[in-house]
């Protein structure tokens, strides 16, 4: 039963992470906005909304949310939330594979501390 | 690949999305309670959706989500996802601290320890962005 919940949450996280990866790919494709200029920001928004990756990212994220709700329907938040702390590891590994973002010692240690912290807050 | 450091402005934007997310959750929760349906199944899912879509609170929550989306993609245009994502765990700090201040809830020792670990983790992850690994 517990294993089933963990797997469902992991699948939800994979979809959510796929969405984040696609968002990041969209952001990498377009020019970084100058936040002091409204025109520059509007160009950024227009450019990013015309990438197909942003829309597939939104779809992936919606799928992740539905699967998360399926998990919640079968278990308590007090169980689902601590398990959800795995998402930071999933995202770090996915960013390494699909975005070529490096994992250095600082990032690894920091991410594991966040996972441990989120787990403790969620479980208490 | 962008390897810019986490500036105060970027950090503030990430914190704003976390706060927005927490506020939207409260709107959704209040909106859902107002529908008066406490269990969703295949028989009542259409009624559930129609009652939700006429709830102002649910739409307010969706509006906050849309604003959050634009802030988040702006953050991603500046820093790595593997940095932005763990830094975005600040809602796990705000929720207990706000519940303590505004709702008078007790924050136990495990929770304080968890908060301390998250703060340390965010610090380390933000530091990692300063290393360029000779890619520039």
B99 touches chain A (CB under 8 A): no
Residue of B nearest to A121 (CA): B111
For the stretch A51-59, contacts whose Cβ atoms lie closer than 8 Å and that sit 24 or more positions apart, written own/partner, are: A51/A25, A51/A26, A53/A22, A53/A23, A53/A25, A53/A26, A53/A29, A54/A22, A54/A23, A54/A26, A54/B73, A56/A22, A57/A18, A57/A19, A57/A20, A57/A21, A57/A22, A57/A23, A57/A25, A57/A26, A58/A19, A59/A19
pLDDT for B88 equals 92
Tokens of B2: 């962008």
ipTM of the complex: 0.90
Tokens of A34: 């100058």
Q: Domain residue spans in chain A?
A: 2-123
Q: Is B133 within the bounds of a domain?
A: no
Q: Is B136 within the bounds of a domain?
A: no
B121 touches chain A (CB under 8 A): yes
**Are A112 and B73 an interchain contact pair (Cβ–Cβ within 8 Å)?**
no
Instruction: Tell me how close the Cα of A9 comes to any Cα of chain B, in angstroms.
Output: 18
Q: pLDDT grade, residue B1 (50/70/90)?
A: very low
**What's the domain range around B68?**
8-128
Q: Is B84 within the bounds of a domain?
A: yes
Residue B104 region, left (φ>0) first, then alpha (ψ -120 to 50), else beta? left
Q: Which of A49, A60, A114, A124 should one mutate to test binding to chain B, selecting the residue with the greatest count of B CBs within 10 A? A: A114
Nearest to B131 among A35, A91, A104 (CB): A104
Q: Is B1 within the bounds of a domain?
A: no
A104 touches chain B (CB under 8 A): yes
pTM of the model: 0.85
**Are A109 and B82 an interchain contact pair (Cβ–Cβ within 8 Å)?**
no
Give residue-wise pLDDT tens across range B71-124: 999 999 999 999 999 999 998 888 788 778 877 778 889 999 999 999 999 999
């Amino acid at each position: 039963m517990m294993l089933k919940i963990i797997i469902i949450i992991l699948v939800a996280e994979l979809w959510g992470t796929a969405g984040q990866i696609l968002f990041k790919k969209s952001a990498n494709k377009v020019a970084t906005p100058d936040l002091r200029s409204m025109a520059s920001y509007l160009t950024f928004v227009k450019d990013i909304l015309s990438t197909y990756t942003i829309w597939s990212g939104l779809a992936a994220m919606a799928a992740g949310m539905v699967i998360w709700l399926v998990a919640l329907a079968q278990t308590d938040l007090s169980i689902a939330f601590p398990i959800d702390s795995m998402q930071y590891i999933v995202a770090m590994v996915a960013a390494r594979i699909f975005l070529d973002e490096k994992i250095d010692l600082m990032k690894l240690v920091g991410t594991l501390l966040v996972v441990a912290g989120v787990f403790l807050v969620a479980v208490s | 690949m962008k390897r810019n450091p986490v500036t105060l402005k970027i950090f503030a934007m990430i914190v704003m999305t976390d706060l927005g997310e927490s506020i939207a959750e409260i709107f959704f929760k209040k909106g859902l309670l107002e529908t008066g349906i406490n269990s969703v199944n295949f028989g009542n899912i259409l009624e559930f959706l129609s009652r939700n879509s006429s709830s102002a609170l649910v739409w307010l929550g969706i509006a906050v989500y849309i604003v959050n989306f634009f802030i988040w993609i702006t953050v991603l245009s500046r820093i790595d996802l593997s940095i932005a994502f763990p830094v975005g765990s600040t809602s796990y700090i705000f929720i207990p601290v706000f519940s303590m201040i505004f709702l008078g809830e007790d924050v136990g020792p495990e929770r304080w320890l968890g908060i301390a670990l998250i703060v340390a983790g965010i610090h380390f992850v933000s530091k990692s962005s300063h290393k360029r690994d000779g890619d520039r």
